[in-house]
Amino acid sequence: MSAAARWWPVTRAAAVRAALTARAALAALAALTALTTGCGASMTKDANEAHGAPGDDGDGTGDGTHDGTGTGTGPVAEKPVEMAREELRALSDQLLELAAPADGATVTDPGPGVDVCADDPDRERLFTLYHAWGVHRLPRADLERAMDRLRQHLPAEGWLVTEDGVLNNANRSPRLLLEHPGLHTAADITLAGRGDDSQLRVTLQTACFSTPEGESPAGEY
């Protein structure tokens, strides 16, 4: 099995086992969303792992878990699922272009996924999106420079840095958490693994959106 296949499971059973993104960044997004819109957006995530990618347990092969229930409360905007999906993919493309990894990099990207909001467990109208992707098969120094470019330039694009430090793991993996209040999106950027087996992992997670009346996100999960 290829490295990409191991990193991004494609079956539903594997997706249920896949890890979630950062609790700290998304809690900050929830508070900011509630302040600016009057609607909550609580999206609970594991503190060390990214949705769709294994947690960094020191060797880059962690086994994070996802209970498949999703999180989140009142919607911040109304839009069709496909429109929200396209917007999140475009945002990921902007981040990848900004990072501008060197030629020869492998970018793994399973596409944006849909998750459940706590206020709508029956999936009648509310939904949240996540997009986990990564860059690997490059010298670690190149990935470090890519992460530095994101760190330096994202604030000018409206992103607020909520945490810039390292994970409490064997590799002391550098980690950057950000939120974009205007886009109702949080980001977890982590340089996982060690040496030239390192991976720059990026996970974007939105607040809850609502489909237009008469439309349901149920078939999108």
Full domain range(s) for residue 176: 3-213
Residues for the chain: how many in total?
A: 221
For residue 40, CA distances in Å to 48, 77, 89, 193, 205 come to 23, 12, 23, 34, 14
What average pLDDT does this structure show over 197-207?
96
Instruction: Report if pTM > 0.85.
Output: no
Q: What are the residues whose beta carbons fall under 8 Å from the beta carbon of 36, sequence distance 6 or more?
A: 181
Is residue 221 included in any domain, yes or no? no
In a domain, 63, yes or no: yes
Is residue 219 in some structural domain?
Answer: no
Percent of the chain exceeding pLDDT 70 equals 67
- Over residues 57-87, the pLDDT tens digits come to 444 433 333 334 455 567 999 999 999 999 9
Q: What is the pLDDT of residue 73?
A: 66
Residue 24 has pLDDT above 50, yes or no: no
What is the rounded radius of gyration, in angstroms, for the C-alpha atoms of the chain? 16
At 220 the pLDDT is 82
The domain tally of the chain equals 1
Predicted local distance difference test score (pLDDT) of residue 53: 44
Q: Taking all residues of the chain, what is their mean pLDDT, rounded to a whole number?
A: 75
Residue 220 placed within a domain: no
- Which of 51-55, 126-130, 215-219 is predicted with the least confidence, judged by mean pLDDT? 51-55
Among the listed ranges 56-60, 115-119, 125-129, 198-202, which one has the minimum average pLDDT value? 56-60
Residue 183: left if φ>0, alpha if ψ -120 to 50, beta else—which one?
alpha
Q: Please state, in angstroms and rounded to a whole number, the distance separating the CA atoms of residues 185 and 88.
A: 9
Domain assignment present for residue 191? The answer is yes
pLDDT greater than 90 at residue 96: yes
List, for residues 135-190, the tens digit of each pLDDT value. 999 999 999 999 999 999 999 999 999 999 999 999 899 999 999 999 999 999 99
Q: What pLDDT shows up at residue 8?
A: 28
What pLDDT is attached to residue 70? 53
Residue 148 forms part of a structural domain: yes
pLDDT (average), residues 197-204 = 96
- Tell whether 199 is covered by a domain: yes
- Which residues on adjacent β-strands are paired with residue 160? 179
Query: What's the CATH code of the domain at 106?
Result: 3.30.2030
In a domain, 35, yes or no: yes
